[in-house]
Amino acid sequence: MSEGHPTEPQLEALRLICTAEPLSTEQLAASLIEARPGSTNPGYPRAIARMAGTLTWRLLAQHFVTETSSGTWRTTPAGRDLLGCART
């Protein structure tokens, strides 16, 4: 997180959430894995899952997403404005 500006990985996560919201952290991790080339490293899926959790935490701190009562993530108006993403 740099001066309140989202990083490229944060923007990628925000786009994925906006496109498919509501999205759980596990679903976000699966989407992030799907969007990347495969890896032969057996720890890769766990690392991406941790990264998804960190990304959502940072997006929440920047007020670009909100956590629902069911534990899924939705974009906020500020997050949608940042991306130019319309709520579906």
Domains defined for the chain, CATH in brackets: 8-83 (1.10.10.10)
Q: Which positions ≥6 away from 61 have C-beta within 8 Å?
A: 1
Residue 19 binned pLDDT confidence (cut-offs 50, 70, 90): very high
Kindly report the pTM of this predicted structure.
0.86
Assign 3 a pLDDT band (cuts: 50, 70, 90): low
Asked if 55 contacts 7 with a C-beta cutoff of 8 angstroms, the reply is: no
Q: What is the mean pLDDT of residues 55-80?
A: 95
Distances (CA, A) of 5 to 44, 61, 64: 27, 11, 11
The CA distance from 22 to 74, in Å, is 5
Q: Is the CB of residue 21 less than 8 Å from the CB of residue 64?
A: no
